[in-house]
Structure 1
Amino acid sequence: MSSAGEVTPKPLPFMYQFASGAIAGVSEILVMYPLDVVKTRQQLDMTNAYKGTINCLKKIVKEEGFSRLYKGISAPILMEAPKRATKFAANDEWGKVYRNFFGVSTMNQSLATLTGATAGATESFVVVPFELVKIKLQDKTSRFNGMGEVVKDIIKNNGVFGLYKGLESTLWRHIMWNAGYFGLIFQVRSLMPKPKKASEKTMIDLTCGTIGGTFGTALNTPFDVVKSRIQAGSTKYIWTWPSLFMVAREEGVAALYKGFIPKVLRLGPGGGILLVVFTACMDFFRTIHG
């Protein structure tokens, strides 16, 4: 993920990319998870019971207790390592593939976007089961107490492939977010002055990652709303695009952005945290790798 005109750093072996992504992902989820719970609640709310992010937070704490804001965190924690590791490792690996295929030595805007979209599709196959379990635990009407109960119930009623319910909508969600995130990071970074100190590099990474995360969230929120409803178990929503039109027709276009505020509050700064921690880990591993 280099700026325009810079030579792309020599990629590290996959295990270093995987470890850096895993550390970055767990760091982000520990800080931002309550906002993910609020986001899911708002996306599943078809009666307008929640009047905004703060109201939703207050209602959850008042009616269900503070600990409810962290219910289901075991699934994301287990998911974050492979999810974020796959995101960044796939982005680097696909970047190498596309640079070789197109015969270029440096990344450009189009390749950054294409690489991000492909990395998002790759990531989707890893995260679907974890996302499905998380949604079922975060739902207010959930009758499950933990991951094991959810997985057992899904396999009992739908078989192992039931764990991949919502794969198609997840593909759309991750393709859109990663394309926006990595594509915009490249563009913003190319406009930034070259850092002279480590602190300047950190601030640039934080700024680029936050802007990229915000843009990616604006692109993929409608797909995320539909994905949440499909995975929550509603038989009304099956395929992504018909579901998008159904929500817009029945609840208004604004309903496609339910949960946007907590989502962007999480994934905007969260995208910055991800990039800063990932870059710092990769820089560290480059020093020990020689």
Structure 2
Amino acid sequence: MSRRDTLAHLFAGGCGGTVGAILTCPLEVVKTRLQSSSITLYISAVQLSTVNGGAMTPVATPGPLNCLKMMLEKEGPRSLFRGLGPNLVGVAPSRAIYFAAYSTTKERMNSMLEPDSIQVHTVSAGMAGFTAITATNPIWLIKTRLQLDARSRGERRMSALQCMRHVYQTDGLRGFYRGMSASYAGISETVIHFVIYESIKRRILETRAATRMDQENETTREASDFMYMMMAAATSKTCATCLAYPHEVVRTRLREEGTKYRSFLQTVSMVFREEGFKALYRGLTTHLVRQIPNTAIMMATYELVIYLLDR
């Protein structure tokens, strides 16, 4: 791959990730709150504040709409964009590194294995995920801490710099890499997603090429191609997310401040034992509602930017 092609994939990946992150930030915050171990206590506290002399009683895990309502009532609309700063700082380099690593590895694997085979897509997606996770984990830890920082209206909120300082003072440099084991486990989701996406994409392009009769509708064809790419990305991401979702919950638990969770397997075991199997899928609905359009937007933007740069 030439230097120009590598830069093109870096730029396209960054653009795609940034657009998707901005449009779906509120859903990201709600999802993170639902995944955390403190969500039940948070909802209980809000409910008790409206009842004089009430006693703490077990409260069922809230749904996405209830969580959203409580956040708006207690913290205000700005709470829905908690962690957006680190997200924007991290999403562009993360996606840029990811897509560049994916494209570079894919090109090299194509020369060693059967071109565009499942093996090529699997190795490429795995290497891309590993590279991006290792490089950007500290940013995502800060984002998660900020999203879990629930404060009432009027209270001064922790900034990203204050959060970084606090993490370093309490846990040192190692603190910035908490949850990385769960992120590495999540590479399986990335691999599944890209294997399905590339398969659907190849079939779409083959079908479109076979049905193309002339060049008169070139603009319409190009626009519709990007819509098909969005559908392919949404379909593949849905399948991958449903299969690999528990790592998301585990990662959030590991990144919580003062958490009792220590490792990936220990967290899976503890959540299952204390809260049941359903807890490992807490926030899945919100995650899908966010991730499907986010992935579709990201992949379509990526394909569009690559197309425009190659013209």
TM-score (norm 1): 0.89
Residue segments in structure 1 that go unaligned for 5+ positions in a row:
1-8
2: CA distance between counterparts of 1:262 and 1:215?
A: 15
Alpha-carbon contact 2:253-2:259 (below 8 Å) kept:
no
The answer to whether 1:64 aligns with 2:75 is yes
- Asked if residue 161 in structure 1 is aligned to residue 153 in structure 2, the reply is no
Note the C-alpha offset of 1:216. Answer: 2.4
Would the aligned equivalents of 1:213 and 1:270 in 2 still touch at CA under 8 Å? no
Contact 1:217–1:268, Cα closer than 8 Å, also in 2: no
Shift of 1:140: 4.2
Per the TM alignment, residue 125 of structure 1 is displaced from its structure 2 partner at its CA by 0.9
User: Is the alpha carbon distance of 1:208 and 1:164 closer, same or farther for their aligned partners in structure 2, counting shifts above 3 Å?
Assistant: same
Q: Using the TM superposition, name which of 208-217 and 78-87 deviates more.
A: 208-217
Change beyond 3 A, Cα 1:75–1:42 = same
Aligned equivalents of 2:6, 2:132: Cα separation in 1: 15
- Deviation of 1:11 after TM superposition, in Å, equals 9.2
- Residue 280 of structure 2 is aligned with which of 256, 259, 276? 256
Equivalent pairs, count: 276
Secondary structure (helix, strand or coil) at the match of 2:62 reads coil
SS at match of 1:13: helix
Question: Distance between the aligned counterparts of 1:216 and 1:78, measured in 2?
Answer: 26
- Alpha-carbon distance between aligned partners in 2 of 1:248 and 1:159, rounded to the nearest angstrom: 30
Residue type matched to 1:153 in 2? H
> TM-score under structure 2 normalisation?
0.83
The alpha-carbon distance between structure 1 residues 234 and 219, as it changes in their structure 2 partners (threshold 3 A), is farther
Is 2:294 aligned against 1:275?
Answer: no
Cα deviation, 1:206-233, whole Å, max 9, x if unaligned, reads 1011112212222332011011011112
- Name the CA distance, whole Å, in 2 between partners of 1:45 and 1:171: 21
% identity of equivalent residues: 24
| Match for residue 20 of structure 1 among 1, 12, 26 | 12
1:274–1:58 CA distance, 2 compared to 1 (3 A): same
SS state of the match for residue 233, structure 1? coil
In structure 1, the partner of 2:203 is: 191
* Counterpart in the other structure of 2:26: 34
> What 5-or-longer segments of structure 2 have no aligned partner?
44-60, 213-220
Of 254, 265, 276, 2:289 maps to 265
How large is the Cα RMSD of the aligned pairs? 2.0
The question of 1:204 aligning with 2:228 is answered: yes
SS in 1 for 2:267: helix
Which of residues 44, 47, 51 is equivalent to 2:36?
Answer: 44
The answer to whether the 8 A contact 1:39-1:262 is kept is yes
How far is 1:127 from its partner? 2.4
Deviation of 1:162 (Å): 2.4
Partners in 2 of 1:101 and 1:198 — Cα distance?
A: 32
